[in-house]
Each structure stands twice: as structure tokens, then as C-alpha cells.
Amino acid sequence: MSVQRSPSSDADFRSIFDDCHQAVHTYCLRRLAIEDANDATAEVFLVLWRRLDRVPPGSETLSWLYGVARNVVRNYERGARRRLRLAAKVGSLRGPVPEEPEPQVIRRFEEAEVLQALRRLRPQDQELLRLKAWEKLSTRAIGEVLGVSDRAVEGRLARALNRLANALPSPSVARVRQRSPRVVPEGGQE
């Protein structure tokens, strides 16, 4: 049984797709391998098509799509873990299980140390910081995506930023590692 859509709903879908596709695709690329990111993006817009009558209007649309994308990405990640466990259980792989390709990171000029520190954080902290820094969402929008209050987002964000700062290499550590010059008595010989 096919659902009959009106021409206005087709136009609404096309408008949202045109406005939000790049942002949703970038969101997925930052979290999944490129092949999975392309499929995940398509799945997000399939959900949009099916639930077009439930999509919040205006600026809340992108936040709603990020929430859908978050769930789709989590499903892909769970699926990848299940496939790896199954492959290991069946014993079809000889030797160590190959690592999945690193998620595609589209950010330019990111510091390698910051990305390393981010990877060491809990997944919840990583997602929160990505929504704030990469997707540039407001506290309210992040709360909508995660299903928590603005106050909870602010507290979690402060704690996540502290954890990130603590995970970064300290500039003083680099100075300590450098060999300090020693004083040499007059005459130039030690």
C-alpha cells in the first residue's frame, strides 16, 4: 500500500533536503567510514520522508535531523560491532581482526593532539563536544538532540571540556622533557 503525498509535501521534503543534506552528510562522515556514512545519510532522509508530518518547523528541523542521524549512526556502530563479534566467533578470520577504517574526519587544520585527546574521552563526552564544536549547535539544540534539559547540557559540557583539557598534553611536560642546559664552569670544559 503506497502512501499518497501531496505536491506540497514533496516540495517540503525537497526544501528540507536541499537545506540540510550537506550538514547531515558531514555529521555522518565524521562518525562513520565513507560507505556507511553515505548509506546512513540516505537512511536519515528516508526517515524524514516517512515522518515529514512530524518534523518540527524552522530552525528545529536540523536539530531533529541530527537526532535521527545520531540514532542511525549508533545503529551502524552496533551493527559493525556485531559483525566483528560474529566473525571472531565463527573463526572465519585468521589472525587478528582487522580494524575498521577510521571515521572520515572532514575538519581542516585540526590539531592532532586535540583529536587524540578527544578519542580518549567517553563516547558520551565525544558526542557532546562534537555537537557543540563541529555541528555548532546551541545548548538548547544539543538538549533536543540528546533528550536532556539545557541545564544538563551545560553541566555535561563543562565536565566534558574539563576532561578534554586534562587529556591534552601539558605544555609544561614538553618543557620538562627538553634537556635543561647545565652551567659549565669558566674555561668551557666540564
Query: pLDDT tens digits for the chain (190 residues)?
Result: 445 555 568 899 999 999 999 999 999 999 998 999 999 999 999 999 999 999 998 889 999 999 999 999 999 988 888 877 776 666 654 555 544 544 443 333 345 677 788 888 999 998 899 899 888 899 999 999 889 999 999 999 999 999 988 887 765 433 333 334 445 456 555 4
**120 and 59 in a common domain:** no
**86 and 9 in a common domain:** yes
pLDDT value for 111: 55
Residue position matching grid coordinates 503525498: 5
pLDDT value for 185: 55
* 146: Cβ contacts below 8 Å, ≥ 6 apart: 127, 128, 131, 153
Name the strand (E) or helix (H) holding 178: none
The Cα 73–Cα 36 span in angstroms is 9
Last residue of a domain, one of 60, 86, 106: 106
**127 and 78 in a common domain:** no
The Cα 39–Cα 69 span in angstroms is 11
Cα 40 from chain centroid (whole Å): 13
The Cα 70–Cα 124 span in angstroms is 12
Query: Does 117 reside within a domain?
Result: yes
**94 and 8 in a common domain:** yes
Q: pTM of whole model > 0.75?
A: no
pLDDT value for 95: 54
Count Cα neighbours of 105 within 13 Å in the Cβ-side half-sphere.
13
Which of helix, strand or coil describes residue 143? Answer: helix
**124 and 62 in a common domain:** no
